[in-house]
Amino acid sequence: MMHIRSAVSIMTWNWQQSDWPRFTWDRDALSRQEQAFLLSGGVLVGAAKHLSPEDWDHVRVEAMSEEAMTTSEIEGEMLNRASVQSSIQRQLGLAIDSHKVLPREQGISELMVSLYSNIEQPLSAEMLFEWHRMVMAGRSDVAALGSFRTSAEPMQVVSGATYAPKVHFQAPPSTQVSGEMSQFLAWFERTSPSGAEPLSAMTRAGVAHLYFESIHPFEDGNGRIGRAIAEKALVQGLGKPIFVGLAHAILAHHRSYYEALEAANKQNEISRWLAWFAAITLEAQTSTIAMVEFLVEKTKLLDRLRGKINPRQTKALLRMFKEGTRGFVGGMSAGKYSTITAASSATATRDLNELVALEALTRHGELKQTRYRLRLASGVSGG
């Protein structure tokens, strides 16, 4: 989707209605999902305790990189994963390299580090302005950089041809934005775990995302910042600095994401939106748990194999784990093993067969089609 401005108003939006912004929903309908979210959060915290400091650093970099990549891809921006990871590692003090990083990759990486380094810090206009400067890094076409929009023309979210655009949403005029955002920030603080009117994690995150997107306070970048706000609410609700990976799940359902938002911006009874958001959040949490369990399995497997495998085999296994839960496209082969370790074809085949015998790998296929995948107790088998 893209943003354009038009003087035409076609209907009454949620912010134009008398009950705005007093959102209502079926509070009992989400109780089961809320409980599942908290229970899974406990599983994630427990699994993370088994990670070495090195593996926890890997989780941080991988989770933030994935969120940066996917939240940008939702908006049609394809970033270089290596550049994003390099930028995040530098900011966390984990690596210093000369990898070239473009401004937009640097900016979204800074947003992720800022988000997860300041989870408990109250959300403020100043924080949002800083996030906006990060998201808009390298952009010269945004007039209101690091500030709320000021144009006199309405902000609309549209799609379709310019001669017959479909208006999905029209935001409040810029003259109302400052006041609307003051109310929003006060609501976000009031509904926090330590606030006067605390809301459960997924409900607060879902309402916050819709509330923010309905105001659409910035000239551009609202989607990325709105998803960061939802992530902040989710992690605050868990009470632990654990990653959720919301954008990754939203990207997998990006069409229904926009459809759900469009349906929700026409009224302030938002039960259907919150049900959709809860399902996506649980899906995101499941993916994050799988990633952490994958790294726990890595530690267990390497400990079991210590003293039983040679340096080539260790190097290859580490390279396979580096590919994450998705693994090598097509699985590990003798040819790939030779490339990674500089071993001859015969040595590669022998090393791989030894790893199968040690129950570190599983073998699939025959002859030139033989492929190998990690053998893990969790059932996740990156290859």
Q: Rounded to a whole number, what is the largest CA-CA distance in the chain?
A: 76
Whether 352 shows a pLDDT value over 80: the answer reads yes
Same domain for 222 and 97, yes or no, is yes
Whether 38 shows a pLDDT value over 50: the answer reads yes
In the numeric block, which tokens belong to residue 255? 């069409």
Q: Of the candidates 292, 327, 352, which is a domain's last residue?
A: 292
In the numeric block, which tokens belong to residue 204? 């607060």
245 within domain boundaries:
yes
Whether 5 shows a pLDDT value over 60: the answer reads no
**pLDDT above 70 coverage of the chain, percent:** 95
Spatial CB neighbours of 289, under 8 Å, sequence gap ≥ 6: 40, 43, 44, 47
Q: Of the candidates 292, 315, 337, which is a domain's last residue?
A: 292
Same domain for 264 and 347, yes or no, is no
Euclidean distance between CA atoms 53 and 59, whole angstroms: 10
Q: Of the candidates 240, 258, 292, which is a domain's last residue?
A: 292
Whether 244 shows a pLDDT value over 80: the answer reads yes
299 within domain boundaries:
no
Give the confidence band of 381 by pLDDT, cuts at 50, 70, 90.
low
pLDDT, position 11:
60
300 within domain boundaries:
no
Whether 54 shows a pLDDT value over 60: the answer reads yes
pLDDT, position 339:
94
Whether 377 and 383 have beta carbons less than 8 Å apart is answered as: no
Spatial CB neighbours of 261, under 8 Å, sequence gap ≥ 6: 169, 210, 213, 273
152 within domain boundaries:
yes
Per the structure, the complete domain to which residue 354 belongs is given by: 307-374
Q: Three-state secondary structure along the chain? A: CEEEECCCCCCCCHHHCCCCCCCECCCCCCHHHHHHHHHHHHHHHHHHCCCCHHHHHHHHHHHHHHHHHHHHHHCCCCCCHHHHHHHHHHHCCCCCCCCCCCHHHHHHHHHHHHHHHCCCCCCCHHHHHHHHHHHCCCCCCCCCCCCCCCCCCCEEEEECCCCCCEEEEECCCHHHHHHHHHHHHHHHHHCCCCCCCCCCHHHHHHHHHHHHHHHCCCCCCHHHHHHHHHHHHHHHHHCCCCCCCHHHHHHHCHHHHHHHHHHHCCCCECHHHHHHHHHHHHHHHHHHHHHHHHHHHHHHHHHHHCCCCCHHHHHHHHHHHHCHHHCCCCCECHHHHHHHHCCCHHHHHHHHHHHHHCCCEEEECCHHHCEEEECCCCCCCCC
Whether 6 shows a pLDDT value over 50: the answer reads no
In the numeric block, which tokens belong to residue 317? 């296994």
Same domain for 128 and 244, yes or no, is yes
34 within domain boundaries:
yes
Place of tokens 């059932």: 379
Euclidean distance between CA atoms 60 and 67, whole angstroms: 11
Q: Which of 46-50, 93-97, 172-176, 249-253 has the lowest mean pLDDT?
A: 93-97
pLDDT, position 4:
41
Same domain for 127 and 256, yes or no, is yes
Place of tokens 């937009």: 104
> What confidence tens digit (pLDDT) does each residue in 176-230 have?
999 999 999 999 999 999 999 999 999 999 999 999 999 999 999 999 999 999 9
Averaged pLDDT of the chain: 89
Whether 143 and 157 have beta carbons less than 8 Å apart is answered as: no
**pLDDT above 90 coverage of the chain, percent:** 64
Same domain for 288 and 317, yes or no, is no
Spatial CB neighbours of 367, under 8 Å, sequence gap ≥ 6: none
> What confidence tens digit (pLDDT) does each residue in 299-350 have?
888 889 999 999 999 999 988 887 777 677 778 999 999 999 999 999 999 9
* CATH number of the domain within which 342 lies: 1.10.10.10
* CATH number of the domain within which 45 lies: 1.10.3290.10
Same domain for 355 and 211, yes or no, is no
Domain count, the chain: 2
Same domain for 247 and 328, yes or no, is no
Same domain for 311 and 263, yes or no, is no
Whether 183 and 22 have beta carbons less than 8 Å apart is answered as: no
Same domain for 172 and 90, yes or no, is yes
Burial grade of 154 (CB within 10 A; 0-12, 13-18, 19 or more):
middle
Quote the radius of gyration of the chain (alpha carbons, Å). 23
Average pLDDT over residues 270-291: 93
Whether 10 shows a pLDDT value over 70: the answer reads no
172: amino acid identity, one letter: P
Whether 148 shows a pLDDT value over 50: the answer reads yes
Whether 377 shows a pLDDT value over 60: the answer reads yes
> What confidence tens digit (pLDDT) does each residue in 12-23 have?
899 999 999 999
Average pLDDT over residues 358-380: 84
52 vs 107, more confident: 107
In the numeric block, which tokens belong to residue 98? 């000369």
Whether 118 and 112 have beta carbons less than 8 Å apart is answered as: no
Euclidean distance between CA atoms 198 and 25, whole angstroms: 15
Same domain for 220 and 362, yes or no, is no
Whether 132 and 125 have beta carbons less than 8 Å apart is answered as: no
381 within domain boundaries:
no
Q: ∠ CA 249-160-266 to the nearest 5 degrees?
A: 65
301 within domain boundaries:
no
Q: End-to-end alpha-carbon separation of the chain, Å?
A: 36
102 within domain boundaries:
yes
Same domain for 318 and 183, yes or no, is no
> What confidence tens digit (pLDDT) does each residue in 80-128 have?
988 999 999 999 998 766 778 899 999 999 999 999 998 999 999 999 9
Tell me the whole-structure pTM to 2 decimals.
0.83
Q: Which of 59-63, 154-158, 174-178 has the lowest mean pLDDT?
A: 154-158
In the numeric block, which tokens belong to residue 155? 């902000």
Same domain for 256 and 362, yes or no, is no
Max mean pLDDT range (163-177, 208-222, 238-252, 358-372): 208-222
Average pLDDT over residues 40-46: 88
